Amino acid sequence: MLRNKIIVLGAGLIGKAIAVDLSKHHDVTCADIQKDALASLSRYKIKTVVANFKDKKALLKLIKPFDLVIGSVPGFMGFNTLKTIIEAKKNVVDISFFPENALLLDKLARKNHVTAVVDCGVAPGMCNIFAGYHYHRLDMIGYECLVGGLPVVREWPFEYKAVFSPADVIEEYTRPARYIEKGKQVVKEALTDLEKVKFDKVGELESFNSDGLRSLALTMPDVPNMKEKTLRYAGHVELMKVFRETGLFSKTPIDIHGKKVVPLEVTSKLLFPKWKMKPGEEDFTVMRVTIEGKKEKYVYSLLDYFDKKTNTTSMAKTTGYTCTAVANLILSGAYSRKGVSTPEFVGEDEKCFKSVLAYLNERNVIYKKKIIKK
């Protein structure tokens, strides 16, 4: 069997899981600016490269030999990195949670005959795939996604650990949340509309507005009600509101003894070590996607835990394996739509939809489906 050449840009918790999963059947290289981040990959059949993705010429040279690129970089550099990959005429699957609209690169991708699937994680990602599958098979009138990644052990004061880029977590707490209500777009502050929600085996969590709806507001404009909310343990939201209102998440420099200081940079320096997952520390991912039609509802539920055998976080599994499932669809030719695709486009195709679910099931990431008749 011909082994495809794949490069994974980014060796964070999720990037590593993606590289390891793909290395089972492909020739994989993983690149990161930090040498230490790549060290743990030495035990696998994965080549490693230290690289600065902000250097466009160097990035173009780096990705030239590869059949497929995986983008797993922090959100603040995701859009420009994706643009460079498309300019290099390389097919790509991206999980970088960047604020820009990826569909702005669609024309460039189609011109370069590139298949680019973006936002291809768990949420956004798998939830979009569910929506895409039902959108053309059901007269949809509602969509809701409740999702969170949390530590199994709750530690004061945050009762939270960042299982992906902490900078992207803070972005969720500051970026205005957009959702669709009665056919119109509504914009609210993040961390608003706090609700208590109960989940089997987990208990009560609190949900709040975050800007996770993303492309669905554009690709499914005739669905009158659509919302995505993030889940945390009780009390976390109020604490983050205090941080935000105090100005600790501000990017505007302030003067301290004649020196300009960015509050967010100070907060990040102090906060991120407390949010860092310790070796062996366990997490879980909980998600409930409700897709409503006029006659029935489809509810997809996920409760996934840290994998003790492979020492892989749940968020790395649920996000990373969705990405690798779609990567394999592209490499096999099963998904070949040119341009920028959001995951709902992948979900439209029944074979692709079933293939992704089967791929996740094989890796013990299991979504349960429930149909509720009205």
Same domain, 145 and 284: yes
What are the distances in angstroms from CA 59 to CA 27, 63, 69, 222?
A: 19, 6, 11, 40
Q: Indicate the residue among 264, 281, 305 that finishes a domain.
A: 305
Quick: pLDDT tens for 137-177.
999 999 999 999 999 999 999 999 987 667 778 888 988 99
* Sequence-distant (≥ 6) Cβ neighbours of residue 110 within 8 angstroms: 338, 339
Classify burial at 372, counting beta carbons within 10 Å of its beta carbon; exposed 0-12, middle 13-18, buried 19 or more: exposed
Specify whether the CB–CB gap between 194 and 207 falls below 8 A. yes
Q: What is the CATH number of the domain that holds 231?
A: 3.30.360.10
Same domain, 185 and 40: no
Same domain, 339 and 233: no
Asked if residue 374 belongs to a domain, the reply is no
Q: What is the pLDDT of residue 1?
A: 46
Which residues in 78-105 are b (16+ Cβ under 10 Å) and which e? bbbbbbbbbbbebbbbbbbbbeeebbeb
Find the helix or strand (DSSP H, E) in which 8 lies.
strand 5-9
> Which amino acid would we find at residue 56?
K
Q: What is the pLDDT of residue 278?
A: 83
Same domain, 106 and 95: yes
- pLDDT tens for the chain, 374 residues long, are 458 999 999 999 899 999 999 999 999 999 999 999 999 898 898 999 999 999 999 999 999 999 999 999 988 899 999 999 999 999 999 999 888 999 999 999 999 999 999 999 999 999 999 999 999 899 999 999 999 999 999 999 999 998 766 777 888 898 899 999 999 999 999 999 999 999 999 999 999 999 888 999 999 999 999 999 999 999 999 999 999 999 999 999 999 999 999 999 999 889 888 898 888 889 999 999 999 999 999 999 999 999 999 889 999 999 999 999 999 999 999 999 999 999 999 999 999 999 999 999 999 999 999 999 98
Quick: pLDDT tens for 189-244.
999 999 999 999 999 999 999 988 899 999 999 999 999 999 999 999 999 999 99
Distance CA 52, CA 12 (A): 15
Asked if residue 31 belongs to a domain, the reply is yes
Q: What is the pLDDT of residue 164?
A: 67
Asked if residue 93 belongs to a domain, the reply is yes
Q: What is the pLDDT of residue 339?
A: 98
DSSP for 201-236, please give it. TTEEEEEEE-S--TTHHHH-TT-S-EEEEEEE-TTH
Q: What is the pLDDT of residue 149?
A: 95
Same domain, 293 and 326: no
Q: Indicate the residue among 284, 305, 326 that finishes a domain.
A: 305
What 3-state DSSP class applies to 200?
coil
Distance CA 372, CA 374 (A): 6
Q: Which of 23, 24, 26, 3 is nearest to 11 (CA)?
A: 23
What 3-state DSSP class applies to 338?
coil
Q: What is the pLDDT of residue 15?
A: 96
Which residue(s) pair with 91 in the sheet?
Answer: 68
- Reading the block at residue 123, the tokens are 């949420």
Distance CA 244, CA 172 (A): 11
What 3-state DSSP class applies to 361?
helix
Q: What is the pLDDT of residue 105?
A: 98
For residue 137, what are the domain limits? 126-305
Q: What is the pLDDT of residue 21?
A: 97
Same domain, 186 and 286: yes
What are the distances in angstroms from CA 86 to CA 76, 125, 266, 341?
A: 18, 20, 35, 13
Q: What is the CATH number of the domain that holds 44?
A: 3.40.50.720
R_g over Cα of the chain: 20
* Peptide bond before residue 124 is cis, with ω within 30 degrees of 0: yes
Cα three-residue angle 349-300-341, rounded to 5 degrees: 35
Same domain, 43 and 68: yes
Q: Which of 168, 162, 170, 159 is nearest to 249 (CA)?
A: 170
